[in-house]
Amino acid sequence: MLVSRTSLPLPLLRRGKVRDVYEVDAERLLIVATDRVSAFDIVMTESIPHKGTVLTQITAWWLRQLEAELSHHMISCDADEIFEMIPGLRPHTGELAGRTMLCTRTDVYPVECVVRGYLSGSAWKEYNAAGTLAGEPLPAGLTESAKLAVPIFSPATKADEGHDENITVPAMASIVGAAAAAELERLTRLVYKFGQGIAADCGIIVADTKFEFGYARGGTDAAPEFDPAHVILVDEVLTPDSSRFWPVDSYTPGRAQPSFDKQPLRDYLDGERNAGRWNGEHPPPPLPDHVVAETSERYLDLYRRFTLAPSITGASI
């Protein structure tokens, strides 16, 4: 079932580019990953089959792998379990199964915790122009897609619209506090290293990725002294929307790499823009069926590679 927008019998907190987030109560949120897709910060008119389910199920799979390493916000992504806890959602089984996660509510830190193991994307553009990342100098002589000697923690501000902005670690500390910034960096590096190891066994390079974290107050509105034990991993984890995944067998430094994500969509839009048929702003051009199908297959391919499951099973993996 293709789901572009939801309307549930719960208070809607926000509708992002991909996710609809609902308030269950003071302690819990319901996060629904739709099949909406964006590129170049524009949400397309068409949706991508299976995309929301893939994002939810890949995140759930990673969170299960990480349970011995750190705490996270997932209570359940099994539709039947969720309906037992929230019976009013049962009439919406068709649109919610497989793409919905019941989560612990937290105070989410207002920064994206980005970690880069390779020089690509916006980091490469800045380095190529100025030799820096977020204004901090990097070693000379690096090429596009080069592996960095040590992964770089590169936080960014969170933008509701438009691009996130890379910031320095001191700038991040001024936003969230020094102790929180240190813990967020530690956890980011931990999850990235963990993910790199599993991905390598699947023939995949995690070039860069971003995480979000929240502070779980445990039912109190008080603001006690910072306790790192209350910092938990939230939102999506190591998905094709939050990460840059490259196939190991075709990795060649010095150029852009093929990737397991919505590259067919970006390539098509680049072609439309270069041909003068699109100005890069809303509304986007219509997407041909083959672009939609190829993009969907990229998401499904990554799901299969990580989980070793032959297909999406609906309520759970």
Residue extents of the structural domains in the chain: 108-250
What pLDDT band is residue 286 in, cutting at 50, 70 and 90? very high
Per-residue pLDDT reduced to its tens digit, 23-48: 999 999 999 999 999 999 899 999 99
Using CA atoms, how far apart are residues 43 and 265, in angstroms rounded to an integer? Answer: 12
pLDDT higher than 80, residue 312 = no
Quote the tokens at residue 144.
Answer: 């596009």
What pLDDT band is residue 158 in, cutting at 50, 70 and 90? confident
Calculate what percentage of the chain has a pLDDT beyond 70.
94
For 277-310, letters b (16+ CB in 10 Å) and e give: ebeeeeebbebeeebbebbbebbbebbeebbeee
Are 263 and 38 in contact by the 8 Å Cβ rule? The answer is no
CA-nearest of 192, 283, 292, 276 to 242 is: 192
Mean pLDDT of 274-282: 96
CATH node for 108-250: 3.30.470.20
Are 268 and 287 in contact by the 8 Å Cβ rule? The answer is yes
pLDDT higher than 70, residue 120 = yes
Per-residue pLDDT reduced to its tens digit, 161-178: 556 788 999 999 999 999
Q: Which amino acid is at 275?
A: A
Quote the tokens at residue 213.
Answer: 């974290």
Using CA atoms, how far apart are residues 20 and 14, in angstroms rounded to an integer? Answer: 6
The predicted pLDDT at position 311 comes to 60
Using CA atoms, how far apart are residues 103 and 222, in angstroms rounded to an integer? Answer: 21
Per-residue pLDDT reduced to its tens digit, 223-241: 568 999 999 999 999 999 9
pLDDT higher than 60, residue 316 = no
The predicted pLDDT at position 221 comes to 59
Quote the tokens at residue 39.
Answer: 């590129």
Mean pLDDT of 73-96: 97
What pLDDT band is residue 122 in, cutting at 50, 70 and 90? confident
What pLDDT band is residue 119 in, cutting at 50, 70 and 90? very high
Using CA atoms, how far apart are residues 48 and 33, in angstroms rounded to an integer? Answer: 12
pTM over 0.95: no
Per-residue pLDDT reduced to its tens digit, 193-223: 999 999 999 999 999 999 999 999 875 555 5
The predicted pLDDT at position 80 comes to 96
Quote the tokens at residue 6.
Answer: 């939801």
Least confident span in 100-114, 181-195, 276-290, 299-313: 299-313
Quote the tokens at residue 115.
Answer: 């970690």
